[in-house]
Structure 1
Amino acid sequence: MKDQTINVTLSTEKKQKPQSDQLGFGRIFTDHMFIMDYTEGQGWHDPRIVPYQPIILDPACMVFHYGQTVFEGLKAYLTKDEKVLLFRPDKNMQRLNKSNERLCIPQIDEEFAVEALKQLITVDKEWIPSAEGTSLYIRPFIIATEPFLGVAPAKNYQFIIILSPVGSYYKEGISPVKIAVENEFARTVKGGTGTAKTGGNYAASLKAQEVATAKGYSQVLWLDGVEKKYIEEVGSMNVFFKINGEVHTPSLNGSILEGVTRNSIIQLLKHWDIPVVERRMTMEEIYQAYSDGLLEEAFGTGTAAVISPIGEFFWRDEKVVINNGETGPLAKKLYDTLTGIQNGLVSDPFGWVVEVK
């Protein structure tokens, strides 16, 4: 697989590129995309970069009926000296294969996938925005393409990568967001697909998100699906709490997505000798820490938002306001450091950034 040549067909009609202040998130796409096919008995084959275009699929394709699909999200950054940097792309491809395993999708060659990604970015390099807070969002995904109405793993797939120049994920930017704690609906449970990055997890979250949005909240904080007691994650982020000088985050329990940014934040905190604890925690504990004046900060972590300070939780009809609804110093330091590493402005002692040459 590693020795396969990626065929490139360049677009003859280039799209108009937006201004940085018009980017938003996830609505604008570049001129090209990467596609590779899987056929049972042949394996992954025909890797190619082609003009961005609609996908033509049979109405009976299994992805439509049985949800056999996985995806990833990562970013490319343009430095001041015009270098293109990726942030830990190997971790994303490793996680994609973990999702593949859970969804019975054939494994991809992770090194080849990163190389294909680099080639695609090189073709569309001029799409990478350079304004502060902007980046090129990368969406690799795999879909089952076999036309068959039967509950079984498909025999045919497509691995696709698309690119989108983006600004901030939340309109608030680095300003604190408000989060509603979900007490009714469940997203996933241990043994389910919570550790996989698959579309069904997000479809299951939409109703709770709709209710939260109607109440003026940006996201939902999910509790465990069995007892509705233990904190798991925010809809698009892992979650951290700074309590009396220590940072606490829910431990990976079989239903929480293993975030690349989460892992990076834990490493950064340990590098700074800040106590960080991965453990099972309840919303009652967080409320008690808030009542005792010990809850200093809360923030979410994820590729899209990087660090998103949380200024308020809405739980059991009560507002839990954190740090007067303002961004805390630790969240700000983590955001500045991580985005600095990603943009090549801060030294990278971990070897996280990968240059696209």
Structure 2
Amino acid sequence: MERHALAILEQNNLWNWRDTKQNQALGNQGAKFQVATPKLLYFLIVESQRLGGELLDHFWRQLGTCDEKLKGNIESLKQEDFVSAQTSFDALFRGLDPKNVNFNPVLDMAVEYFTHLGVVFMNPGGRKSGTSTEFSVSEVVNEETDKLLQQVNKEGDFGKRKQELLKALSFRRDGDFCLLTGVEFMHSKKKPGFYPALAHIIPNSVHGKPDTLKCIAMFAGPAASDEVMHHLNNIGNVMNMELNAHTSYDNFHWGIEAKEEGGEVKYFFRTVPTNPGIRGPVFITLRDGEEIQFGKGPEGKKLNNGPTPRLCNLQLAVARVLKLSGAADIILEWKDLADDDGYYRPFIASEEFCDMLDAKLFLSGRAVVV
């Protein structure tokens, strides 16, 4: 059913996502989301299938609730081999006019993932892991690894010293330089040079969001959701980066692909979208497809030689979905609007979505729905 779903979603001009009157009322922002919706669902399914998720089944279930006749056609479509996009579309809407079908359940599905994956993952700040100063890692960098790990556990999820401890552990695992740019890090602000920015593979903004964890479980499988909960603010979900590399990572310009080769995990730098051989943005020296040398520090093996593979692949998949569908551009534009004057005036698909935006999207805490 994957090929049927993808082919049907490619026929986005035939879907009656909203009527003309609604489009006029929604304005430019609503029109942009309307255009992005079929692409968003398309790439969600593509990446979910790669990760072993169940989003494809979720899509068909939601589509089946749109019309009783449609539900029957879906069951018939399951018995038919894929021939062409038009054949799949005709079989799905046999005896129906798409213009008369209420697709709100499918649109609501897109809104859910847009909000609970897209908005959350593109707001990486979330709750900060500690309140220590940026360079205080110099105070703990010489402590033994076992002692650092014990202190990390004592700090809980968001203890005051958690960030500096994780930075120190990242040095132990990967070495004293940025794996993306090659620059050597300074441990003290008293010396000129480059200082480490602790990056979370999966952003801390996921913390305390059960709806996001539910979406992750559907998108990438229950094991992915479990590993996010277990590793979110621990050594398996962090790495030290040069600040510009960190910023480009947060903006989904690149990601990390983890693959098992020869009985060991290897990590590869991937631009988003993938463009083999192309060099990364800003100061990054790696090219798409080149290996990232995790685990070369003095305690690399003890600290699992790198971040948790499933988390790397989850972040990369979400980045690809948002960038390739155009949803990332919409979120970035909204963030820019909120930053401009402190107020954000959304024109979007439904009251439900406006409610979610009110709670999740207004990153500065100052935006008001008007």
User: Shorter-chain TM-score: which interval?
Assistant: under 0.3
Per the normalisation by structure 1, the TM-score is 0.27
Per the normalisation by structure 2, the TM-score is 0.26
Over alpha carbons, which structure has the higher Rg?
Answer: 2
| Higher strand proportion (structure 1 or 2) | 1
